[in-house]
Structures are given as C-alpha cells and as structure tokens.
Amino acid sequence: MRTGIFVQVRLGSTRLPSKALLPLRGGNLIAHVMRSLARVPADERALLTDSASAEALTPFADAEGFKLFAGSPEDVLARYCDACRRYGVDRVVRACGDNPLTSPALAREIMAFHARKRADLSHYLGCPWGTGVEVVESGALFEAEREATDPVEREHITTYHYRHPERFSILEEQAPAGMRAQDARVSIDTREDYERVRRMFEDLYAGAPIEADEVVRWVRDHG
C-alpha cells in the first residue's frame, strides 16, 4: 500500500494573487504546508499545480523535498488521478496549499483510523477549518474520474463521493478533544485571512509546525 501526500496549489487566485508565496514567520505559506506534511508518513510527497504556476513553485518544492506535478489547470480531479498514476500510489492524503496550519497530528491520526476501518474517504469534523486533511483511496478517485460530469465534482475532487454515499465508505469523525474549534477558520483565502494567520505565526511559531491544539487556544484567546 503506497501513500502519496498531494498538496493542491496554484498561484492564479483572483482574490489574493500568489498567496502561496506570501511570507509568514520562518518561511512562506506553501513552505509551512510542506513542513507540516513532512512529519506525516508517506511514500511520495508532491505539490499538484498547473503549468502556469509550476516554474515559480519548483524551487520551493525542491527546498522542502517535495516533487512537483503540473496537470490540468481546471480539472483538479483529473490532476489528482494523473498524479496517482504517475507516482503509483494507492492512497492519497489530500491537503490544500491555502493551509499553512495543517496539523501533522490530525493527519497521522486520521490516516491510521482510515486504514483500520478500510474506508474509501475519511476526514475529521470539528477541527479549525484549515488544519485538517482528507484521506482517500486512489480507486475511489478513479471511479469519480470515470463518472463525475458536474464541473463542481471535477474542481472539488471528493464532492462526487459525498454526493454518492451509497457507493463509498465515508468516515467523518469528530476531531480529538483539545483540537476542536468548529467555527474557527485558519485557511487563507483573503487578505484579512492572511493578516490573522500572520499574527498567529508571529505569536506561536518557534521553528516547528504549529499544532491544532495551539491554534485552538490562540483562537479562544483572540476571538
């Protein structure tokens, strides 16, 4: 069973252009995503992007020991499936390049739970938005690639699975106690999001990934 950690990232955002390269204490946004996921066991680690973003992202991927895969600019589901075939993985940890506070602990725990239960798709509920990952079997992605026709299902790669729960084993577990703050958001989509996360890094970053329990405490203290 080969596992790939695949981070979806591109630089063409209209609301916050090139946000993956925005500075945060100790690095930039995408570097912190990769450093968090470097603490999660896997056989392959790659940034999944489009050709327009590949050149700018390559040196950052190289610096963190990640590969870079450039695929379809619009069909993200096809991009993931093509990466599964390229790297020969059976299971994917899907992470987002908008999330520099991705939790290594949450990723490791949901991966173990997913494997024990032999699920097709798993994720935690209740953790701050932007700290979690999804774990999905490559076979389930290939099935969606064959069947999904709605553009939303091609852009958001597990939407097809959630819309067809009768066809897949989907696990949605509550996050561990101490890592729950359901209304908290630490994903970066806007300039306001970025400024808030930047302040969090100024307060909390000490040379290692900031864990979800630290995020929860910071959010509770700062509203």
- Please, what is the average pLDDT of the chain? 96
Name residues whose C-beta falls within 8 Å of residue 143's C-beta, 6 or more positions apart in sequence: 167
- The per-residue pLDDT for range 131-175, each reduced to its tens digit, is 999 999 999 999 999 999 999 999 999 999 999 999 999 999 999
Sign of CA dihedral 129, 10, 100, 44: positive
- The per-residue pLDDT for range 19-65, each reduced to its tens digit, is 999 999 999 999 999 999 999 999 999 999 999 999 999 999 999 99
Tell me how many degrees the CA angle 120-124-125 measures, rounded to the nearest 5: 125
How many alpha carbons fall within 13 Å on the CB side of residue 14?
A: 0
Spatial separation of the C-alpha atoms in residues 2 and 90, rounded to whole Å? 5
Name residues whose C-beta falls within 8 Å of residue 27's C-beta, 6 or more positions apart in sequence: 35
Confidence (pLDDT) at 221:
92
Spatial separation of the C-alpha atoms in residues 68 and 54, rounded to whole Å? 7
Answer yes or no: CATH 3.40.50.920 is held by domain 3-222.
Answer: no
The answer, yes or no, to whether residue 182 has pLDDT greater than 90, is no
What type of residue sits at position 39?
R
- The per-residue pLDDT for range 68-79, each reduced to its tens digit, is 999 998 899 999
For residues 109-118, average pLDDT = 97
Place of tokens 């870079």: 68
Most distant CA pair in the chain, distance: 47
CA distance readout (Å), 97 to 15, 55, 189: 15, 16, 10
Provide the percentage of residues in the chain whose pLDDT is more than 70: 100
- Phi and psi based region of residue 126 (left: phi greater than 0; alpha: psi -120 to 50; beta: remaining): left
Structure-token pair, residue 168: 């897949």
